A and B are shown apart, each in its own frame.
Chain A
Amino acid sequence: MNDDFLHRLRKPPRPAFAARLRAQLGRQSTSPPPPRVPSRAHTLLTLLLLGGTAFALTAVAIRGLPPSLVALYQYATVWIGAERTTAPAHRVGNQGMGQGPRWNASASSSAHGAALHGGTTQAAAPAMSARPAATSSAGSPGGSASVGGAPAGSQVAQISVVSSWSAYPYAAAVAERVNGTTGTAGRPIAPHIDVSVRDSDVWPGPMCSGGANAPDLAYAFEPLGSVSRRPCPRNTSGGNPSPVIAIPVGYETVLLARSPLYGELDLTRRQIFLALAKWVPVPARAGTVHENPSATWRQIDAALGPEPIAFMGPPLSSAAGRSMIELLMEGGCNTYPWIAALESTHPGRYARICRTVRTDGVYVEVSGLAAPTLLAEPNAVGIFGLHGIFGPAGRSELSMNGLAVSKLDGTEPTQQDIQSGAYPGSRALYLFNRGRVTSNVVFSLLEGEFLPHPDWALVPAPMQELRADYTAGLTP
């Protein structure tokens, strides 16, 4: 052990964590901090010093004055005193100076970030309210703004988007692409998109709230379904009276495959959790965990083979790695009711049990895992984030490359089962629109160059069908 060894133990924070924390702080910046107030002792000391000095000086100065000037001085003192009583009101306008540093809460390009950071009046306002024209223009059915081809002179200044934590990287990536795209003469081609994160569910939550600060769009993962028109609950009185349209953007999917040498796998999420997690439940003692002792599949389930447990999968900090942990490990972890209950009572402990992958070499992080690598390592189970690689028969491209694709909880990951919600290693990313943004803008966000599909392991939704559904009768 030496200095180098100790320094090498450092590692960068997970990007997802860094982004989440940054967004959390950005969200806090929408409420300005309380103005700085001097302490009582500080104020008292200052007043005593000033008062004493003034008294000493004036006592000397007026001693030699004629009585008329003394009277004038006394009048002036009263007048200045009266002015001083109003002085704090005059300083209210300067409170912006006291707001101190601002986070750029949006996931915007640097140009937009600079605009939000600037010392303008708008920059001093909360980010969510800095969209003066969004309500009027974007809300009109014939609104002129459209992403990916908006005419110049669009009146929409900003589209505000809220996102759940898990959907935030996706929402931020789309916003970054839109905000970073400029047209002729460097002018933005679309309204600026401002993304913030919500702790609680976005539906009905902010989408059914009223007021000018309510967001225009929202992203969240939900169980699968098609385009739906959802009325806001009645108890959101004073909130949004219009139904909200929920559109599935794509299907985040994780699947497992290995060399066909040992045949196809049919694993459950619980078995995967027991094979991958660092801490697993002690079989004979409910409520306790110990470090994962399993080295072979048979130790997890006698019906499984004697092969050693070995995984190859995406880097844990990547989007696909995050999907794997949330869909497979947490899915299996939650089959233990006592662990699932920890999520609300002891979230730190829940995270440590359900989201910590073992570090004893069983899981090997591989960027860009491909079939030849797995064919050369027949024991290893490959974990893939799936993004639109279905063949004509609806089976994944992986099976066409000679790999044996594992069922998950008895279901094969076919396109049909993913889009129907039957495959448990999948979930849908939804975009919620409360009706202030036109369908042209919405579908511009869902299609084409702004979609980060390859990076985010999303199986694309059948967008043409969705657009048809949307325009056929669901448009508010």
Chain B
Amino acid sequence: MAWVFAKELDWDALYSDQLPRIYNYFRFRVGNDADAEDLTARTFESAWRARERYRDDLARFSTWLFTIAHNVAVDFLRSRRAQVPLDAVEELAAAGTPEDDATRDSDLERLSILAARLSEREQELIALKYGAALDNRQISTLTRLSESNVGTILHRAVQTLRSQW
């Protein structure tokens, strides 16, 4: 019985293909470019360090990479929630009403504010669908939801966002 090593992967091609997806996934999850870059770098570094553990007979590369990205996002969002009282250095949106802030913010930031009211699962699906540009089948593989369930949740989430926009 031979131990299966990871096949030679064309990392240049994978990097070019996956970098925009991962980056936009994080932009939709955290709502700003600086953190998205930081988390994207963290994801690729983790993937690169663990590249020997990737098994192409178990999952597609993108699935594997997005699993890492999901874990990175969860860690980040958990720590950010814990740090909110300490992050008073940025009085983000403290000077005006929510309506004023939303008007000034970019569309993505506005979306981020509104999406924060959605459930964690809905936020994740929005980021995978519109940030990472995955189709419902890919999302269903990642989240272990049925394809129709993914479509239903997304439809409801977008309707909620639209009603608050």
A binding-site residues for B, Cβ under 8 Å: 1-3, 5-7, 9-14, 17-18, 21-22, 24-25, 28-29, 33-36, 38, 46, 97-98, 100-104, 113, 279, 282, 287-291, 293, 348-349, 351-353, 355-356, 359-360
Contacting pair B88 A288 (CB below 8 A): yes
> Is B158 in contact with chain A by the CB < 8 A criterion?
yes
Contacts of A17 in B (CB 8 A): 37, 40
Contacts of B34 in A (CB 8 A): 348, 351-352, 355-356
> Is B107 in contact with chain A by the CB < 8 A criterion?
yes
Contacting pair A10 B35 (CB below 8 A): no
Contacting pair A46 B89 (CB below 8 A): no
Shortest B52–chain A CB gap in Å is 5
One of B4-12, B62-70, B116-124, B136-144 contacting the partner: B4-12
Docked Cα-Cα span, A351 to B38, in Å, equals 11
Contacting pair B28 A291 (CB below 8 A): no
Contacting pair B52 A36 (CB below 8 A): yes
Docked Cα-Cα span, A21 to B130, in Å, equals 23
- Residue B5 contacts which of A9, A98, A103 (CB distance < 8 angstroms)? A98
Contacting pair B89 A288 (CB below 8 A): yes
Docked Cα-Cα span, A288 to B48, in Å, equals 37
> Is B90 in contact with chain A by the CB < 8 A criterion?
yes
Contacting pair A98 B52 (CB below 8 A): yes
User: Given that A12-B20, A24-B45 are known contacts, is A103 also in contact with B11, CB under 8 Å in the complex?
Assistant: yes
User: Given that A1-B161, A36-B52, A291-B93 are known contacts, is A10 also in contact with B3, CB under 8 Å in the complex?
Assistant: no
Shortest B24–chain A CB gap in Å is 5
Shortest A120–chain B CB gap in Å is 13
B residues 1-37 in Cβ contact with A at 8 Å: 1, 3, 5-6, 8-12, 15, 19-20, 23-24, 27-28, 32-35, 37
User: Given that A6-B158, A101-B8, A291-B95 are known contacts, is A11 also in contact with B49, CB under 8 Å in the complex?
Assistant: no
Given contacts A46-B1, A352-B90, 20 further A-B contacts (CB under 8 A): A1-B158, A5-B107, A6-B129, A7-B133, A9-B27, A10-B27, A11-B27, A14-B37, A22-B15, A24-B41, A28-B48, A28-B49, A100-B6, A101-B11, A279-B90, A288-B88, A291-B92, A293-B95, A348-B38, A352-B34
User: Given that A7-B130, A282-B91, A288-B91 are known contacts, is A101 also in contact with B51, CB under 8 Å in the complex?
Assistant: yes
> Is B60 in contact with chain A by the CB < 8 A criterion?
no
Q: Which residue of the partner chain A has the closest CB to B3?
A: A38
Contacts of A2 in B (CB 8 A): 158, 162
Number of interface residues of B (CB under 8 A): 54
Question: How many contacts A-B (CB < 8 Å)?
Answer: 125
Docked Cα-Cα span, A356 to B32, in Å, equals 10
Docked Cα-Cα span, A270 to B95, in Å, equals 23
- Residue A21 contacts which of B27, B41, B53, B89 (CB distance < 8 angstroms)? B41
Docked Cα-Cα span, A9 to B48, in Å, equals 28
User: Given that A348-B34, A360-B104 are known contacts, is A100 also in contact with B5, CB under 8 Å in the complex?
Assistant: yes
Docked Cα-Cα span, A3 to B151, in Å, equals 13
Q: Which residue of the partner chain B has the closest CB to A110?
A: B12
Contacting pair B8 A100 (CB below 8 A): yes
Contacts of A22 in B (CB 8 A): 15
Contacting pair B19 A113 (CB below 8 A): no
Contacting pair B32 A352 (CB below 8 A): yes
Contact with A along B132-158 (1 / 0, CB 8 A): 010000000000000000000000001
Docked Cα-Cα span, A102 to B131, in Å, equals 28
Docked Cα-Cα span, A164 to B89, in Å, equals 30
Shortest A44–chain B CB gap in Å is 14
- Residue B89 contacts which of A6, A11, A349 (CB distance < 8 angstroms)? A349
Contacting pair A287 B12 (CB below 8 A): no
What 8 A-B pairs come out closest when comparing CB atoms?
A6-B130, A101-B9, A13-B23, A1-B162, A10-B24, A100-B6, A352-B34, A101-B11
Contacts of B88 in A (CB 8 A): 288
Contacting pair A290 B95 (CB below 8 A): yes
Contacting pair A113 B130 (CB below 8 A): no
Docked Cα-Cα span, A349 to B24, in Å, equals 20
Q: Which residue of the partner chain A has the closest CB to B37?
A: A17
- Residue A13 contacts which of B32, B40, B101, B108 (CB distance < 8 angstroms)? B40
Contacting pair A9 B51 (CB below 8 A): no
B residues 60-112 in Cβ contact with A at 8 Å: 88-95, 101, 104, 106-108, 111
